[in-house]
Amino acid sequence: MRSYRKSSHTVHDLKVHLIWVTKYRYAVLTKEVGYRTREIIRQVCAQNDVQIISGAVSKDHVHLYISYPPKYSISDLVKWFKGRSSRKLQEEFPQLGKRYWGRHFWAIGYAAFSSGHVTDEMIREYLKHHEDHPNHQDDGFTVE
């Protein structure tokens, strides 16, 4: 049976696969830096009710598959992950300053891929029974 997350006024199952890379794709997420990156990401998740489903810190990028509450946007989540980790890693590992003199640890941007058990076709089929409604519009939007 599928489990949903609940908050005071919502029932949700929002999941996203995020990927972001180090600036210039430098392979600096090794050993202690990689472990600390993982720890910082876990802290951000714990503080914001985000559940880590799976993840990996590679030498020059991070993969993170998470379940998150609807009160957050994906861009806010990424901003928190990248911002907190950049600041902490550069404070704790001064050797990174030799490569990242501009205080920018991560490359600009990220990749985000939503996931779930419901397909576009399943939603269309579910809504199809409303098309017979007298107030159905040609644009597919019905007022009941």
Each residue's pLDDT tens digit, 67-81: 999 999 999 999 999
Q: Is residue 66 part of a domain?
A: yes
State pLDDT tens for residues 79-102: 999 999 999 999 999 999 888 877
**56: phi then psi, degrees, rounded to nearest 5:** -155, 135
Mean pLDDT of the chain: 87
Paired tokens of 65: 């598959």
**23: phi then psi, degrees, rounded to nearest 5:** -60, 135
Q: List, by residue number, the catalytic residues.
A: 126
Contacts of 71 (CB under 8 A, 6+ apart): 7
Q: Is residue 138 part of a domain?
A: no
Query: Residue 58 is part of a domain; what is its CATH number?
Result: 3.30.70.1290
Q: Is residue 78 part of a domain?
A: yes
Residue 140 is predicted with a pLDDT of 56
Q: Is residue 75 part of a domain?
A: yes
Residues 18, 77: Cα–Cα separation, whole Å: 10
Residue 2 is predicted with a pLDDT of 63
State pLDDT tens for residues 11-48: 888 999 999 999 999 999 999 999 999 999 999 999 99
Query: Could you give the number of structural domains in the chain?
Result: 1
pTM: 0.83
Name the burial class of residue 31, with classes exposed (0-12), middle (13-18) and buried (19+) by CB atoms within 10 angstroms of its CB: exposed
28-32, 53-57, 65-69, 112-116: lowest mean pLDDT where?
112-116
Q: Is residue 133 part of a domain?
A: no
Q: Is residue 104 part of a domain?
A: yes
Residues 137, 144: Cα–Cα separation, whole Å: 11
Residue 92: domain span: 5-116
